[in-house]
Chains A and B, each alone.
Chain A
Amino acid sequence: MRLIGKQLASKLLWVLGQVLLLPTLLMTSVQAFGASDAVVDEAQRWGLNMTEGVTAVSHEIYDLHMLIFWICVWIGVVVFGIMFYSMIMHRKSSGAVPAKFHESTAVELAWTLIPALILVMMAIPATSSLIKIYDSSEAEINIKIVGYQWKWQYEYLGEDVSFFSNLTTPQDEIYGLAPKGEHYLLEVDEPLVIPVNKKVRFLITANDVLHAWWVPALAVKRDAIPGFVNDAWTIVDEPGIYRGQCAELCGKAHGFMPIVVHAMEEADYANWLAGKKEEAEELKAAMSQTFTMDELYARGEKVYQANCVACHGANGGGGLGPSLVGTGITTGPINAHINVMVNGVAGNAVMPVFGNQLNNIDLASVITFKRNAWGNNMGDQLQPVDILTFKKNQ
């Protein structure tokens, strides 16, 4: 028995030596002949690997990923090497006579302990990365991110700036009626804007179901959970536009709620922020203004496109939500209509509560739009103050 164990061990060692040489040869020859730029470009186009990203953390994660990957490759080469060796050499058709050995405590011990050691080698860098990722202290900018079915809301804490970010890819592109643009499904009306080289902390939560906020280039992925606030952070090194998607199934339009992050130089960011604040001021002023029917209709159409199409259809014909053409609340008393828009539908979680998602101008416009679009022709209209009065009186 002992003899067999030894024989096996030495044989194993020999095979091991053979197969270990192979990939080294392969790799050096690839390097020697040089992967041409064209090959690299082609690989890039197909997207073979994880992005290295643009933050220190994303680089670290990429390195960790490659480390584990290569360890797995090597183990695979050894194990499959031995396997193929015996499948070729030890065939009955080439007259192989089966050996009789069926156990060896020494070998068993070795292949329990060596993998355990390799695991420890992997666990050390993994642990240190994780500790870094979990340290969200000393952030300079705090942004609250709220997942909604199916859009993201960004709120710059302490800055009085808050907005929604919706998919802008037109339905025609999705349904193949128009050619698809370069950033098909990865484009939004308002991206999240952050400065480079500053620690930005994200406070992530959700309003309805679970979502997950994920931008590969930042290596940030955190679940957005109603009732909980998760945090994550990033420091982006290079200005640029980085795209991601919701990563947790959140219903029908889960595939249609992308994330776009625009990282800018600090000065540009300051400008942008100032502009945003001004916009907010203007909006406040506009709340007491009176709009014409055409203004309301045009604005309402935009609001409808961004917030309602997913459920009520491009022409109000319905889908997940009921038809809005010529029936029900849309062509009923206007107060009931405001009520549905501000408070949602009691007992139905699918129709969102828009009272705190849309501002009074948008609410007034979208209601006006619906009541006059698609042949509804109700002829009535609402002003932002009407919404304000409604909210006050309830």
Chain B
Amino acid sequence: MGDHGPAKGFGRWLFTTNHKDIGSMYLWFSFAMFLMGGVFALVIRAELFQPGLQLVEPEFFNQMTTMHGLVMVFGAVMPAFVGLANWMIPMMVGAPDMALPRMNNWSFWILPFAFTLLASTLLMEGGGPNFGWTFYAPLSTTYAPPSVTYFIFAVHIMGASSIMGSINIIATILNMRAPGMTLMKMPLFVWTWLITAYLLIAVMPVLAGCVTMMLMDIHFGTSFFSAAGGGDPVLFQHVFWFFGHPEVYIMILPAFGIVSAIIPTFARKPLFGYASMVYATASIAFLSFIVWAHHMFTVGMPIAGELFFMYATMLIAVPTGVKVFNWVSTMFRGSMTFETPMLFAIAFVILFTIGGFSGLMLSIAPADFQYHDTYFVVAHFHYVLVPGAVFSIFAAVYYWLPKWCGNMYDERLGKAHFWLSFVGLNLTFFPMHFVGLAGMPRRIPDYALQFADFNQIASMGAFLFGFSQVFFLFIVIKTIRGGEKATDAVWDNPEGLEWTVASPAPYHTFTTPPPVK
């Protein structure tokens, strides 16, 4: 092989099998989707700025809520984490590349097709998917617009991409670690991704099964989800949430790993309770399989089922609490500085915990009869996904960008981006708790007058948050194009193999395994 650089031109990206190139492509793709999903969200917030219908018709509004959810979950958050895994996991475990580099290329390149297909449904007759990102049958089958078939195909492709990505990550972690890198020495980001990859392999086929059953109902005369033909619309929800609940952990476990890398660096103190972090992650992953029906407390389950899912859901608070306590203890008596990645990580801990609190409230089945399908739920999952998943991705980008491109980002701009995002996000999502409790259902294009004030605030916050992300794009491009040169360690004595290679990281790293202490 020898040492060679990247190929020239577009072919470099099309044919690349290099984990760093593929990681970059995933990240850029994810950011593009983040902006697209963000535009959909802003359409929603613009319509909800005032009571009454001003900008869009309810039909289109429903397409926006659906596409916003699908694009953010499958297009923005998941690919961003896969991109980070591609970049960082080989460098963190001392491997030269991913275990299955050709498949790696393939699992990325089918994604743009999937999302082009999905987005194209908006231009089709009858409009795009309008049944919510949870696509409950029979609204998504018997009553769906014709474009639903394209949606199903797109979901299949995304699923295939995720499964291939996960196989690759598992194979890399289990087979390609440098000698001496035992499992319990792996950085937490590697651990959380290992567990996430198993979750993905377990549940993506369930999602594929779910949409295939829809396809059969729509085109081949079966009645899986149609009561008129002897089927069961509630079955849909069980199958969907058996996928859907682990899915939400798929979007947060890697974030736990990122934050567990960043906090020790800027507290200048080793991570508190490494082993308990690993065990907590594994427990959360296990519990994620037995709590799905807490999304369905109002479908009329027997009380035994209701109680089981309530207790199991409450239990998740324990390992999640352990994680938060560990992060706080890592900061405790450290020697802290507050660079941009640390700011995002701290905001993550605080705001994710708030999302956790509302999650605990939602787990109480009798109270959930009042919360379910209101804006309280919308507030809850945006608190765990935006300052949770999305902030952790921002933190990761600021933390590792100097290693990727060899230049330091501008700290002043980074902090400005943080504060704008922080204020914007809280303005957007905090009021949603209130309107939800006061009785505003989710997924409505127009609302009663008493919800007007808070909705107005939320809409203003959303635009602030949205435009801050364009600013983020500017910061990243500016950093890639130039700036103060980063040292190899970048930060003050950070832990991990990735900091032992040059900045920017050479095209090929660890072609011979590094020594592991």
Interface residue ranges, A against B (CB under 8 Å): 8, 11-12, 45-51, 60-61, 64-65, 68-69, 72, 75-76, 79-80, 82-83, 86-87, 90-93, 96-104, 107-108, 111-112, 115-116, 119, 122-123, 126-127, 129-131, 133-134, 149, 173-176, 180, 182-186, 208-210, 212, 214, 216, 219-223, 225-228, 230-231, 244-256, 319-320, 349-350
Q: Let me know if B336 is at the binding interface, CB within 8 A.
A: yes
**A122-B364, A129-B366, A230-B300 given as contacts; is B269 within 8 A of A98 (CB)?**
yes
Of the candidates B227, B233, B271, B349, the one whose C-beta lies within 8 Å of that of A102 is B271
B125 vs chain A, min Cβ distance (A)? 13
Of the candidates B130, B336, B444, the one whose C-beta lies within 8 Å of that of A87 is B336
**A49-B437, A225-B299 given as contacts; is B328 within 8 A of A82 (CB)?**
yes
Q: Which of B344-377 contact A (CB under 8 A)?
A: 346, 349-350, 353-354, 357, 360-361, 364-367, 369-370, 372-374
Q: Is B374 a contact of A247 with CB atoms below 8 Å?
A: yes
Q: Is A90 a contact of B331 with CB atoms below 8 Å?
A: yes
Of the candidates A83, A86, A182, the one whose C-beta lies within 8 Å of that of B333 is A86
Q: Is A130 a contact of B365 with CB atoms below 8 Å?
A: yes
Q: Is A216 a contact of B306 with CB atoms below 8 Å?
A: no
Q: Is A250 a contact of B139 with CB atoms below 8 Å?
A: yes
Chain A residues with CB under 8 Å of B303's CB are 130-131, 134
Q: Which of B76-104 contact A (CB under 8 A)?
A: none
Q: Let me know if B205 is at the binding interface, CB within 8 A.
A: no
Q: Let me know if B511 is at the binding interface, CB within 8 A.
A: no
B349 vs chain A, min Cβ distance (A)? 7
**A61-B370, A86-B334 given as contacts; is B136 within 8 A of A221 (CB)?**
no
Please report the C-alpha to C-alpha distance between residue A247 and residue B251 in the assembled complex, in whole angstroms. 26
Interface residue ranges, B against A (CB under 8 Å): 51-54, 58-59, 62, 130-132, 136, 138-139, 142-143, 227-228, 232-234, 267-276, 298-300, 303, 306-307, 310-311, 314-315, 317-318, 321-322, 324-325, 328-337, 346, 349-350, 353-354, 357, 360-361, 364-367, 369-370, 372-374, 434-435, 437-439, 441-451, 453-454
Q: Is B360 a contact of A92 with CB atoms below 8 Å?
A: no
A373 vs chain B, min Cβ distance (A)? 23
**A68-B360, A79-B325 given as contacts; is B52 within 8 A of A249 (CB)?**
no
Q: Is A255 a contact of B441 with CB atoms below 8 Å?
A: yes
Q: Is B310 a contact of A83 with CB atoms below 8 Å?
A: no
Please report the C-alpha to C-alpha distance between residue A223 and residue B136 in the assembled complex, in whole angstroms. 12
Q: Is A223 a contact of B298 with CB atoms below 8 Å?
A: yes
Interface of A is mostly: mixed
Chain B residues with CB under 8 Å of A250's CB are 139
Please report the C-alpha to C-alpha distance between residue A176 and residue B445 in the assembled complex, in whole angstroms. 14
Please report the C-alpha to C-alpha distance between residue A104 and residue B15 in the assembled complex, in whole angstroms. 50
Chain B residues with CB under 8 Å of A248's CB are 136, 373
Please report the C-alpha to C-alpha distance between residue A116 and residue B311 in the assembled complex, in whole angstroms. 11
Please report the C-alpha to C-alpha distance between residue A131 and residue B435 in the assembled complex, in whole angstroms. 28
Please report the C-alpha to C-alpha distance between residue A141 and residue B292 in the assembled complex, in whole angstroms. 34
Q: Is B317 a contact of A210 with CB atoms below 8 Å?
A: no
Please report the C-alpha to C-alpha distance between residue A220 and residue B173 in the assembled complex, in whole angstroms. 50
Please report the C-alpha to C-alpha distance between residue A48 and residue B354 in the assembled complex, in whole angstroms. 17
Chain B residues with CB under 8 Å of A222's CB are 298, 300
Q: Is B370 a contact of A60 with CB atoms below 8 Å?
A: no
Q: Is B450 a contact of A79 with CB atoms below 8 Å?
A: no
Q: Is B439 a contact of A252 with CB atoms below 8 Å?
A: no
Q: Is A87 a contact of B314 with CB atoms below 8 Å?
A: no
Chain A residues with CB under 8 Å of B370's CB are 50, 61, 65, 216, 219, 221
**A92-B268, A96-B336, A252-B62 given as contacts; is B448 within 8 A of A186 (CB)?**
yes
User: Nearest CB to that of A120 among chain B residues?
Assistant: B314
Q: Is A51 a contact of B448 with CB atoms below 8 Å?
A: no
User: Nearest CB to that of B266 among chain A residues?
Assistant: A92
Please report the C-alpha to C-alpha distance between residue A48 and residue B365 in the assembled complex, in whole angstroms. 21
Please report the C-alpha to C-alpha distance between residue A244 and residue B68 in the assembled complex, in whole angstroms. 27
Q: Is B328 a contact of A212 with CB atoms below 8 Å?
A: no
Q: Is A99 a contact of B334 with CB atoms below 8 Å?
A: yes
**A68-B360, A80-B350, A130-B303 given as contacts; is B298 within 8 A of A350 (CB)?**
no
Please report the C-alpha to C-alpha distance between residue A47 and residue B370 in the assembled complex, in whole angstroms. 15
Q: Is B310 a contact of A103 with CB atoms below 8 Å?
A: no
Q: Is B52 a contact of A47 with CB atoms below 8 Å?
A: no
Q: Is B434 a contact of A209 with CB atoms below 8 Å?
A: no
A-B CB contact pairs (8 Å), 19 listed = A45-B450, A46-B454, A79-B325, A79-B328, A86-B333, A90-B335, A96-B333, A96-B335, A98-B335, A100-B270, A101-B333, A107-B329, A130-B303, A175-B52, A185-B446, A210-B233, A221-B298, A249-B131, A256-B58
Chain B residues with CB under 8 Å of A92's CB are 268, 335-337
Chain A residues with CB under 8 Å of B271's CB are 102
8 shortest interchain CB distances as A-B pairs: A227-B227, A47-B438, A255-B444, A230-B300, A72-B357, A99-B333, A129-B366, A102-B270
A40 vs chain B, min Cβ distance (A)? 15
Please report the C-alpha to C-alpha distance between residue A97 and residue B334 in the assembled complex, in whole angstroms. 7
User: Nearest CB to that of B435 among chain A residues?
Assistant: A47
Please report the C-alpha to C-alpha distance between residue A11 and residue B329 in the assembled complex, in whole angstroms. 11
Please report the C-alpha to C-alpha distance between residue A134 and residue B310 in the assembled complex, in whole angstroms. 15
User: Nearest CB to that of B233 among chain A residues?
Assistant: A225
Please report the C-alpha to C-alpha distance between residue A369 and residue B449 in the assembled complex, in whole angstroms. 34
Q: Is A184 a contact of B449 with CB atoms below 8 Å?
A: yes
Chain A residues with CB under 8 Å of B374's CB are 247
Q: Is A108 a contact of B366 with CB atoms below 8 Å?
A: no
Please report the C-alpha to C-alpha distance between residue A79 and residue B326 in the assembled complex, in whole angstroms. 11
Of the candidates A50, A86, A107, A208, the one whose C-beta lies within 8 Å of that of B143 is A208
Please report the C-alpha to C-alpha distance between residue A77 and residue B274 in the assembled complex, in whole angstroms. 25
Please report the C-alpha to C-alpha distance between residue A230 and residue B360 in the assembled complex, in whole angstroms. 26
Chain B residues with CB under 8 Å of A129's CB are 366
User: Nearest CB to that of B328 among chain A residues?
Assistant: A83
Chain B residues with CB under 8 Å of A47's CB are 434-435, 437-439, 450-451, 454
User: Nearest CB to that of B349 among chain A residues?
Assistant: A83
Please report the C-alpha to C-alpha distance between residue A104 and residue B315 in the assembled complex, in whole angstroms. 22
**A173-B52, A220-B369, A252-B59 given as contacts; is B434 within 8 A of A102 (CB)?**
no
Q: Is A101 a contact of B272 with CB atoms below 8 Å?
A: yes
**A134-B303, A349-B142 given as contacts; is B361 within 8 A of A46 (CB)?**
no
Chain B residues with CB under 8 Å of A174's CB are 52-53, 446
A97 vs chain B, min Cβ distance (A)? 6
Please report the C-alpha to C-alpha distance between residue A320 and residue B143 in the assembled complex, in whole angstroms. 12
Chain B residues with CB under 8 Å of A134's CB are 303, 306
Q: Is A255 a contact of B446 with CB atoms below 8 Å?
A: yes
Q: A68-B364, A227-B228 are in contact. List 8 more A-B contacts (CB 8 A).
A: A49-B438, A68-B360, A102-B274, A123-B310, A185-B448, A231-B300, A249-B442, A252-B59
Q: Is B227 a contact of A228 with CB atoms below 8 Å?
A: yes
Chain B residues with CB under 8 Å of A79's CB are 324-325, 328, 353
B58 vs chain A, min Cβ distance (A)? 5
Chain B residues with CB under 8 Å of A176's CB are 52-54
Please report the C-alpha to C-alpha distance between residue A219 and residue B371 in the assembled complex, in whole angstroms. 10
Please report the C-alpha to C-alpha distance between residue A208 and residue B141 in the assembled complex, in whole angstroms. 11
Of the candidates B298, B361, B444, the one whose C-beta lies within 8 Å of that of A65 is B361
A173 vs chain B, min Cβ distance (A)? 7
Chain B residues with CB under 8 Å of A126's CB are 310, 364-367
Q: Is A60 a contact of B366 with CB atoms below 8 Å?
A: yes
Chain A residues with CB under 8 Å of B269's CB are 98-100, 102
Q: Is A225 a contact of B142 with CB atoms below 8 Å?
A: no
A64 vs chain B, min Cβ distance (A)? 5
User: Nearest CB to that of A250 among chain B residues?
Assistant: B139
Please report the C-alpha to C-alpha distance between residue A76 and residue B317 in the assembled complex, in whole angstroms. 13
Chain B residues with CB under 8 Å of A119's CB are 314-315, 317-318
Of the candidates B136, B310, B349, the one whose C-beta lies within 8 Å of that of A210 is B136
Please report the C-alpha to C-alpha distance between residue A65 and residue B449 in the assembled complex, in whole angstroms. 25
Q: Is A127 a contact of B272 with CB atoms below 8 Å?
A: no
Q: Is B443 a contact of A209 with CB atoms below 8 Å?
A: no
